[in-house]
Amino acid sequence: MRRLGSVQRKMPCVFVTEVKEEPSTKREHQPFKVLATETISHKALDADIHSAIPTEKVDGTCCYVTTYKGQPYLWARLDRKPNKLAEKRFKNFLHSKQNSKGWVPVEKNNKQYCWHSSVVNYEFEIALVLRHHSDDPGLLEISAVPLSDLLEQTLELIGTNINGNPYGLGSKKHPLHLLIPHGAFQIRNLPTLKHNDLLSWFEGCREGKIEGIVWHCSDGCLIKVHRHHLGLCWPIPDTYMNSKPVIINMNLNNYVYAFDAKCLFNHFSKIDNQKFGRLKDIILNV
């Protein structure tokens, strides 16, 4: 299977959109909604949307893996609206480190990106990744993946302190965060590309209990539709991601004693090979 596209810019909607003067259900204090019409956009048609690969749009924050200091590094999307304290503390850092595309490397002790930092270990060059089990598409797997395997890919960071935690991971006392490669969760039985058919799919199918869809087109273009484009709510109580069992497959026996006692890699190593009914059921006892 070909490698799917990376998220480097804002994705257009698959449908032509229109603005309605009604309070947004997506953004608080926004006095309007952006809703999809029934017309497929020219961008989508030009990208041959009908032959594209549909995948789950995951609700998190975008990350990128590329080289920094001579080794694979996780980069965070630059926060352009930091609070005053963060702005004062990291102003020089951001100006000196950010690259031209709006990314900033995640340093180990950078408090602004501490949740990003929790899912990588630069000493062993590994990342904490959630994806489908290679032998069972109905099973999710949390594993330690070499950062070199993720080079030049974008991923979504999800978890306790990201975007209101729509997937219910961890707790305030024991936060839990994971990386998901973009395009990791392909959608197998999507209906025809019609407004009403997609609306019915989101409302009536178990597989439709997701934030949205991202189509990966053959030319590298990415096209999306969000539940809010169809007038539907997000987040929702029971997500499709939380309907599948998940297994821990760290395989870090040679490193387990080298990890900091409080790091996620150490906690997951202690429950290695254990299977849980859903992501929400994973409790890390520190």
Domain co-membership, 171 together with 110: yes
Give residue 286's pLDDT.
Answer: 57
Percent of the chain with pLDDT over 90: 76
Which one is predicted more confidently, 82 or 172? 172
- Is residue 40, in this structure, part of any structural domain at all? yes
Domain co-membership, 74 together with 116: yes
Lowest mean pLDDT among 32-41, 83-92, 205-214, 241-250: 83-92
Give residue 28's pLDDT.
Answer: 72
Domain co-membership, 75 together with 206: no
Domain co-membership, 45 together with 121: no
Domain co-membership, 19 together with 140: no
Average pLDDT of the segment spanning 257-272: 88
- Is residue 239, in this structure, part of any structural domain at all? no
- Is residue 5, in this structure, part of any structural domain at all? yes
Domain co-membership, 142 together with 176: yes
Give residue 80's pLDDT.
Answer: 57
pLDDT one-digit tens code per residue, 153-170: 999 999 999 999 999 999
Number of domains into which the chain is organized: 2
Average pLDDT of the segment spanning 11-16: 97
Which one is predicted more confidently, 175 or 285? 175
Report how far residue 14's alpha carbon sits from residue 60's, in angstroms, rounded to the nearest whole number. Answer: 21
- Is residue 123, in this structure, part of any structural domain at all? yes
Percent of the chain with pLDDT over 70: 86
- Is residue 70, in this structure, part of any structural domain at all? yes
Give residue 94's pLDDT.
Answer: 44
**Which 3 state secondary structure label does DSSP give 189?**
coil
Does the pLDDT at position 92 exceed 90? no
Antiparallel, parallel or unpaired: β 120-121 and 103-105: unpaired
Task: Work out the pLDDT band at 79, boundaries 50, 70, 90.
Answer: low
pLDDT one-digit tens code per residue, 114-124: 999 999 999 99
Antiparallel, parallel or unpaired: β 71-77 and 61-68: antiparallel
Domain co-membership, 67 together with 121: yes
Q: Identify the domain containing residue 221 by its residue range.
A: 1-53+189-234
Domain co-membership, 137 together with 270: yes
Q: What is the mean pLDDT of the chain?
A: 89
Residue that finishes a domain, picked among 214, 234, 254: 234
Helix or strand run (H / E) with residue 18: strand 15-20
Domain co-membership, 158 together with 77: yes
pLDDT one-digit tens code per residue, 176-216: 999 999 999 999 999 999 999 999 999 999 999 999 999 99
Domain co-membership, 165 together with 200: no
pLDDT one-digit tens code per residue, 25-71: 766 777 889 999 999 999 999 999 999 999 999 999 999 999 999 99
- Is residue 44, in this structure, part of any structural domain at all? yes
Antiparallel, parallel or unpaired: β 61-68 and 154-159: antiparallel
Domain co-membership, 64 together with 175: yes
Q: Residue 155: left (phi > 0), alpha (psi -120 to 50), or beta?
A: beta
Average pLDDT of the segment spanning 232-246: 97
- Is residue 169, in this structure, part of any structural domain at all? yes
Domain co-membership, 63 together with 42: no
- Is residue 196, in this structure, part of any structural domain at all? yes
